[in-house]
């Protein structure tokens, strides 16, 4: 009887060990919680500080135009990928559209490309900067899988900095995007 109890304890503790040491699954975008801002949202320094920190972390290689303060002009955008609320996965129709972008990029290999991730205004500035970065990196990873050299890309998260404030989730759809931009030679 004691032998049976000993074996049962060993099996149970082994099972608990192996279950507890399994690989942790990254939460899907829908599993995340959008909270209130930890910084100020209207006219304060909260957004700017988080954005400045993200630029300094990546070396600040890309700088805005000194006159306009923008990182790129709208006419330099060659395409945009749009997303559902709180998502960063590229949908099938946008993957098809990106195949055309790949052809443009292969035809002009001397161009560098900026992929800028944007979000709507829902959520904190920090969360939206992270989501914008995931969106931009997702596009870059897809284009690299399609044969474009990774060294041609710059990734920038604009978060919700340019989002139209006070819109509904449906109306904010145009702010949930990644812009693919030609950089000047």
Which pLDDT score is estimated for 24? 46
The label of the residue with tokens 């988080």 reads 50
> Is pLDDT at 118 greater than 90 in this prediction?
no
Tell me if 173 sits within 8 A of 82, measured CB to CB: yes
Tell me if 110 sits within 8 A of 185, measured CB to CB: yes
Q: For residue 151, how many other CB atoms are within 10 A of its CB? A: 7
Which pLDDT score is estimated for 140? 92
Q: What is the DSSP string of the chain?
A: -HHHHHHHHHHHHHHHHHHHTSPPPPPPGGGS-----SS--SSSSHHHHHHHHHHHHTT--S---TTT--SS-GGGEEEEEE--TT--PPPHHHHHHHHHHHHHHHH-TT--EEEEEE--SSS-HHHHHHHHHHHHHHHHHHHHHTT--GGGEEEEEEETTTPPTT--TTGGGGGSEEEEEEPP-
> Is pLDDT at 141 greater than 90 in this prediction?
yes
28 vs 182 pLDDT, higher one: 182
- Domains for the chain: give ranges and CATH numbers: 71-185 (3.30.1330.60)
| Residue-averaged pLDDT of the chain | 70
**Which of 17-21, 63-67, 91-95, 151-155 shows the lowest per-residue confidence on average (mean pLDDT)?**
63-67
Kindly report, residue by residue over 30-76, the tens digit of the pLDDT: 333 333 333 434 433 334 444 444 443 444 445 555 444 555 556 66
> Is pLDDT at 121 greater than 80 in this prediction?
no
- 126 Rama sector, left if φ>0, alpha if ψ -120 to 50, beta otherwise: alpha
Q: Which two tokens stand for residue 118?
A: 């944007």
Q: pTM for this structure?
A: 0.58
b/e code 75-99 from CB counts within 10 Å (16+ = b): eeebbbbbbebbbbebeeebeeebe
Q: How far apart are CA 136 and CA 139, in angstroms?
A: 5
């Amino acid at each position: 009887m004691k032998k049976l109890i000993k074996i049962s304890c060993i099996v149970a503790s082994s099972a608990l060990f192996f279950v507890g040491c399994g690989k942790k699954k990254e939460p899907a975008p829908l599993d995340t919680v959008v909270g209130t801002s930890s910084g100020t949202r209207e006219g304060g320094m909260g957004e700017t500080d988080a954005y400045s920190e993200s630029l300094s972390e990546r070396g600040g290689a890309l700088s805005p135009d000194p006159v306009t303060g923008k990182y790129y002009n709208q006419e330099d955008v060659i395409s945009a990928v749009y997303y559902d609320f709180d998502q960063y996965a590229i949908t099938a129709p946008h993957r098809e559209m990106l195949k055309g972008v790949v052809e443009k990029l292969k035809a002009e290999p001397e161009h560098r490309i900026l992929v800028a991730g944007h979000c709507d205004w829902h959520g904190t500035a920090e969360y939206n900067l992270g989501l914008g970065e995931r969106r931009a990196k997702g596009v870059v990873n897809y284009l690299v899988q399609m044969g474009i050299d990774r060294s041609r890309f710059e990734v920038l998260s604009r978060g919700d900095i340019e989002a139209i404030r006070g819109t509904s989730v449906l109306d904010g759809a145009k702010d949930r995007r990644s812009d693919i931009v030609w950089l000047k030679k």
